[in-house]
Structure 1
């Protein structure tokens, strides 16, 4: 009820703002400086390339959120989670297996894990290059020109097919004319330090230039374990080199190389639930959990000692006695390390005044090593060690017509091949399980081939029709060598010549499409209706066990058919902007994660398919600029998602299960600029709110894995000193030090407990940024 009241109050406030806008607009001239040119004022446009053409975001008949590089600096945006916080229907959850990995959701469609065997419903692109894994995305957020978030199925314009949407990140490209760059330094609490430097150099004026950026970022962590060691900290080193070459008016070449290395203490894990000691199905008593605890303490397995062990584990629910939300009662040596690097080249050539061709070629490599405590107690109850090595090659070709023509079109082809190894060593309830350690070892190969096209036809000056089509074929292969202390952990039915190897391979193909109609009755007004269909490939279960052959069953692709209507309005002489969208999505063969306990061996997770779901949603982005100095942004979304039918072959009927996304989101951002004798003083305050969210919908005890509704407040005050062209700022992230969780693991139906991962505490810091030349 409180959440509904909050939303209603926000809606009333927004409505009041709309009603009051004429008065605000009339007062704008009086509020501005006497010499200001009021006729030229108003909300600025951001130029995007969402449809592979440079156009205003207000002219694109797609639900899209765009943020410029300057806005990212003003709002202290550092990674995808910050972008998601200000975007309707976009939710990012930290992976419990690796703090450098994210599980992203858009319009109710969620990633289930960061494994190579799983695709994400949300595609992330950097300079047109698709990133298949959501690990180490911070490198992509340094020295950015703009970010575009497109909601709804994508594929008729993008290299990779996705069902939820796409995030397109454009880095700053070299300036062929001027030397320039910037340096910045951030210092904050708990040893926070970030140093960044960028340099742009034209080597041959108008023809060849380079831009290099490097960044070091680190902190000391924000919690302690039982040994008194700090936890939750990390050090990130990032570098990128962009080269621009334009030997003629028709030919443009952009080359890029980037590198990132993250080394951290792992994610902070807390025990959030223990099954009752006398429990029964569906909440079994944690008998094996207590036996393992007693064995590690060197105590006999008696009823009295089990009660003592249960009380000992209950203490972990309260932390380590210090009362800090960020401390973890564990002695396990958690750690995470990631190294990723890549090279890419984009060639654009104008064949004629009407026709151009574009090629995007990329190679990427990644290695991660993550040791995780999945129990949050002083005992060793469930501790996996994840090691991943991967490489991916991708090639995209596009043929584009002149967008100024009545009929404009794009044809494209895409190919990618990802290969690597996923290796996990798990210790589960030692020393009572004779299968310890359990090893999941799989060589993964993912191939994707697609052709796509999209055409826009201008029926009249006010009406446009768009149609797109895509065909995709994907092959997912897995060579598994799963084993444990007792021997081979692969069913004999899939073994290769009796060896402890099994080979699984599946090929999936499907069509995607888009049809839209948009109408521009007047300047600053756009209405549109569209339908689109997206496809996300299936695959194999990596962590199968021989004692339950069903754990090796493949999972099918999922598809989404989306129907959307929307409006983009610039009102009151561009003092008010309203972008609205409503959609209905039919979601089929949904991939969902399940934790199970096989008859022999450790608890494991696998992917199954839900039959069908329907998702309805509303999204609103409102920007008001009552004066040239004051800007207010309000973004909100409502997501109503529910299964039509979900019969799990292992767990049974899950049709009433919740979706792992917030139903309501609300984000506000207020910016006020004040001229001073030194330079412009800028005040920024933002509030990002999410309704209650189940982070693990399959858990039996939902209260232990659900984050209640909460909001985070971020603020920033900056002064631009004109004399030295520099900015000095004081900022706060999570100003009121809200305690919240960002991830969870449900083991209540297997090992007898659940865990959660904590979000970051308040960070107060200062920043100095000096620009020179072309910045």
Structure 2
């Protein structure tokens, strides 16, 4: 286990449609196998068994490898453009850290110790930390986005939903090799080779290796370095042994290294008394940051999947996995050459997980039961370097989680089924937090942890504490097959995310921080449908839902003149979120297919009781009734949901026609996101207005599927849109209000050969 000091390592319009009976639609559910066409029927294994999509009572969006390839999708953030009521973005100030929100539930702060509200799974292995989690799309079978609380079917409990990244299966019968090369705007070059090779009748090996490089969209005008560039290497290697028809064992190892330059952001305000040289740059992709251009992110994992068919009715499954990662980088919050608000940082994590499942199917009773264990450690350190003062923060959180879950479906009649599930979770957490002020001996000096030698000042936090969180969360659904073409369902599910400790906690300013914060809960009620009409040419899924969000964990950072920056994690809020989702496809002809999705959500805080810094507090005087560092505050009616636009939508058409011994496919698409705010309190400078992204792709594939050529244009309107930001106003912090932006207009050509 690494310790500190070790070496670097998108409604309203379609909501009207929802007034029609079919508008109760919520995307189909699934957790295991993505949609597979069998005649006119789509078969899934959402609940760990094969069943028609129409029979599954959960909300899910599925993107197959073929659909993603036709769109020219680069990484999993493309899911934001195709999934209703979802935000999937690169975290502020990073290149490969993931933030995700589903139906208003998520976690923007990627600090170690904070668990995401949306879980990420790679081949059913839960990825506990968001660093290096912006997965590039290569060698996959599909990606699934499940909306609403998950936890009765597998893995770690997730309160907002889950993203499942499912890699390609190994071909046990024939050798397979695929090679792809891409070249595009900003000198983008990508190379991928993947394949599989049967060694014997029972053993097959395979894997994929990918490299991605690209010049920056902008430049660091202070140092001349590329800004928003890409330099990533990734691999995945697998071996599958099937000694008998009843037993399958698959061993997989994967890794990624990201040496892209730090992403410092773009100033949205002028630097106080800085002069023209400190004004915001001309391009939103440029920066004037001075905190450095070194950045390195790496993550590795190994997993062992074992499936044993005990008899025709029972399957036993084991999933064992280990993962680890490390990040070394820096964010320049003031975006100037001055060390006004610089944050060098180090993160590291490791995890061990073990899951056992029993899957059973006895005529009218089917289901899954299992146990899950997670032992994870996340640690890190960062400096907050402001003029004359450096605040060093270090910490570690150890999590040991044990859970048992079950979900059983009973066929009451041939048309009516009841599913009942529950999850018991016990999380034990130990948090260690150290925070100390240092007086700089020269401007911008870093703490001893980052190579400086400043004068030690006030010790603000130095404690270790532990807490245990235990909860049982239920799920129940009722499914009615009204006809062969229409299935209706209703469900209730509860999500639970355990409490923890604020790794930035200041025990001088907020003494209660040593006690940590409590769990949060989401209770979701949903009515949905799945349908297939017109001989399978029209497929619709949809839903309306209400989520009651209680004891909401609110994370905030607030500037204080006397004490630098204060951090708060409060169980501050209760909220109600209501919404509707509709998605589907229309096969107008064999050559023309339309896909669409729309989401509407209305979120309102019922209460928002939190803590603020007392502007009258005098740190030179003793703390007492008249001199409190923080004060309670009621912001009910003022707060809104972050990263949650009220309306999201997408539409695409694919027209295909035979051409020159192959098939030419043209896919124009558009995605819309309504107004959204970066944090719970609106900021007209920082918040993002509504926008639409337009994309188009053309592919030509030979009839034998051996060669594919593609041309992909993304963000054709060259829209400038923010995906994140920081807000530290005032002269003390350089009036640092900065934004981070999504990619500009790009064009990419690809050639792929399959053997």
Q: Give the TM-score category using the shorter length.
A: 0.7 to 0.9
Task: Indicate the SS of the match to 1:82.
Answer: helix
The reply to whether residue 81 of structure 1 matches residue 48 of structure 2 is no
How far did 1:140 drift? 6.3
What is the CA-CA distance between 1:748 and the residue it aligns to?
2.7
Distance 1:310 1:489, change over 3 A: closer
Q: Does 1:69 pair with 2:30?
A: no
Q: Tell me, what secondary structure is at the counterpart of 2:499? A: coil
Q: How does 1:741-760 map to 2 (within 5 A)?
A: 741-748=722-729, 751=733, 752-760=735-743
Counting only pairs closer than 5 Å after superposition, residues 412-451 of structure 1 correspond to structure 2 as: 412-428=370-386, 430-431=387-388, 436-451=389-404
Corresponding residue number in structure 1 for 2:447: none
2:139 to 140, 143, 164: 143
Query: 1:540 is matched with which residue?
Result: 501
Partners of 2:115 and 2:399 in 1: CA distance: 10
Return closer, same or farther for 1:67/1:56 CA change in 2, 3 Å cut-off: farther
Shift of 1:121: 1.2
- After TM superposition, give the deviation of residue 57 of structure 1 in Å: 3.1
Please say if 1:186 is aligned against 2:166: no
- Looking at structure 2, the residues matched to 626 and 82 of structure 1 have their Cα atoms a distance apart, in angstroms, of 25
Confirm or deny: 8 A CA contact 2:91 2:108 kept in the other structure. no
1:271 to 267, 275, 278: 267
Q: Show the counterpart of 2:523.
A: 561
Decide whether aligned partners of structure 1 residues 12 and 657 sit closer, same or farther in structure 2, where only a CA change above 3 A counts.
closer
1:9 positional shift = 6.2
Give me the TM-score of the superposition, normalised by structure 1: 0.85
Residue pair 2:431, 2:465 contacting (<8 A) in 1 also: yes
Note the alpha carbon deviations across 1:613-639, whole angstroms, 9 max, x for none.
000010000211110111111101011
- 2:432 alignment partner, one of 466, 472, 479: 479
1:43-122 to 2 correspondence within 5 Å? 47-122=43-118
**For residues 43-75 of structure 1, what are the alpha-carbon distances to aligned partners after superposition, in whole Å with 9 as ceiling and x for unaligned?**
976544331223343331111111211112112
Which residue of 1 is the match for residue 286 of structure 2? 327
Cα pair 1:85 1:688 within 8 Å, conserved = yes
Scaled by the length of structure 2, what TM-score is found?
A: 0.87
Name the CA distance, whole Å, in 2 between partners of 1:380 and 1:204: 61
* Counterpart check, 1:706 vs 2:667: no
**Compared with structure 1, are the counterparts of its residues 138 and 754 closer, same or farther at alpha carbon in structure 2 (3 Å cutoff)?**
closer
What residue in structure 2 maps to residue 300 of structure 1?
A: none
Shift of 1:546: 4.1
Q: CA deviation at 1:349?
A: 0.8
Distance in 2 between the 1:748 and 1:649 partners?
19
Q: Which residue of 1 aligns with 2:209?
A: 214
Partner of 1:635: 597
Partner Cα distance (1:45, 1:685) in 2: 27
What is the distance in 1 between the residues matched to 2:647 and 2:569? 27
Q: Is the 8 A contact 2:11 2:600 kept in 1?
A: no
In the alignment, which of 658, 662, 673 is matched to residue 640 of structure 2? Answer: 658
Against the structure 1 CA distance between its residues 488 and 245, is the aligned structure 2 distance closer, same or farther, given a 3 Å change threshold? farther
Structure 1 stretch displaced more, 91-100 or 703-712: 91-100
What per-residue deviation string (whole Å, max 9, x for no partner) do you get for residues 387-442 of structure 1? 1111100000101112x6201121110010111321112212x23xxxx3221111
Q: Tell me, yes or no, if structure 1 residue 603 matches structure 2 residue 568.
A: no
Helix, strand or coil for the counterpart of 1:324? coil
Superposed, 1:108-507 pairs within 5 Å as 108-139=104-135, 141-205=137-201, 207-227=202-222, 228-273=224-269, 310-312=272-274, 316-319=278-281, 323-402=282-361, 405-428=363-386, 430-431=387-388, 436-485=389-438, 487=456, 490=459, 501-507=462-468
Task: Say if 1:638 and 1:316 are closer, same or farther in 2 by CA, change over 3 A.
Answer: farther
Q: Distance in 2 between matches of 1:313 and 1:519?
A: 68
What runs of 5+ residues in structure 1 fail to find an aligned partner? Answer: 1-5, 20-40, 275-308, 495-500
The 3 A distance-change label for structure 1 pair 743 and 523 is same
Q: Is the 8 A contact 2:506 2:567 kept in 1?
A: no
Task: Provide the C-alpha distance between the structure 2 equivalents of 1:740 and 1:43, rounded to a whole number of angstroms.
Answer: 42
Check whether the contact 1:512–1:535 (CA below 8 A) recurs between aligned residues. yes
Q: State the alpha-carbon separation in 2 of the partners of residues 379 and 392 from structure 1.
A: 38
Offset, 1:268: 4.3
SS in 2 for 1:83: helix
CA distance in 1, matches of 2:67, 2:40: 12
| Structure-1 separation of matches of 2:291 and 2:90 | 20
Q: CA RMSD in A?
A: 2.5
* Aligned counterparts of 2:737 and 2:587: Cα–Cα separation in 1: 47
Partner secondary structure for residue 267 of structure 2: strand
Question: Compared with structure 1, are the counterparts of its residues 49 and 487 closer, same or farther at alpha carbon in structure 2 (3 Å cutoff)?
Answer: farther
Matches of 2:466 and 2:45 in 1, distance apart?
37
Task: Kindly indicate whether the alpha-carbon contact (under 8 Å) linking 1:737 and 1:761 is maintained by their aligned counterparts in 2.
Answer: yes
- Quote the Cα distance in structure 1 between the aligned partners of 2:42 and 2:259: 36
Q: Does the residue aligned with 1:85 lie in a helix, a strand or coil?
A: helix
Verify the 8 A CA contact 2:297 2:328 in the aligned structure 1: yes
How far residue 677 of structure 1 moved from its aligned partner, in angstroms, is 2.9
Q: Secondary structure at the match of 2:66?
A: helix
Contact 1:313–1:377, Cα closer than 8 Å, also in 2? no
CA 458–269 in structure 1, closer or farther in 2 if over 3 Å, else same: same
Residues 314, 708 of structure 1: alpha-carbon distance in 2 compared, 3 angstrom cutoff = farther
Structure 2 match to 1:510 = 471
- Deviation, 1:248, is 0.6
Query: C-alpha distance in 2, partners of 1:600/1:477?
Result: 30
Q: Equivalences for 1:683-762 in 2 at 5 Å?
A: 683-698=666-681, 702-722=683-703, 725-748=706-729, 751=733, 752-762=735-745
* Matched residue, 2:619: none
Residues 489, 510 of structure 1: alpha-carbon distance in 2 compared, 3 angstrom cutoff: farther
State whether residues 93 and 264 of structure 2, in contact with CA within 8 Å, keep that contact through their aligned partners in structure 1. no
Could you tell me how far apart the structure 2 residues matched to 1:155 and 1:8 are?
31
- In structure 2, the CA distance between the partners of 1:577 and 1:61, relative to structure 1 (3 Å rule), is same
Check whether the contact 2:465–2:515 (CA below 8 A) recurs between aligned residues: no
1:556 Cα deviation after fit: 1.2
Greater share of residues in helix: 1
Q: Can you give the 5+ residue segments of structure 2 that lack an aligned partner in the other structure?
A: 1-9, 24-36, 439-454, 614-632
Structure 1's 63 and 9: CA in aligned 2 closer, same or farther, altered over 3 A?
A: closer
The alpha-carbon deviation at position 331 of structure 1 amounts to 3.8
CA contact (8 A) 2:580 2:600 kept: yes
Q: Deviations over 1:632-677 (max 9, x none)?
A: 1110101111110011132612222110111110111111111123
Task: Specify which structure has the higher proportion of strand.
Answer: 2
SS of the aligned residue for 1:372 comes to: strand
**Cα distance, 1:739–1:689 mapped onto 2, change above 3 Å:** same
* Comparing 591-600 and 563-572, the one that deviates more: 591-600
Most deviating of 67-76 and 453-462? 67-76
Question: 1:270, 1:317 within 8 Å by CA — same for their partners in 2?
Answer: no
Q: Does 1:576 align with 2:572?
A: no
- Relative to 1, partners in 2 of residues 1:111 and 1:506: Cα closer, same or farther, differing over 3 Å? same
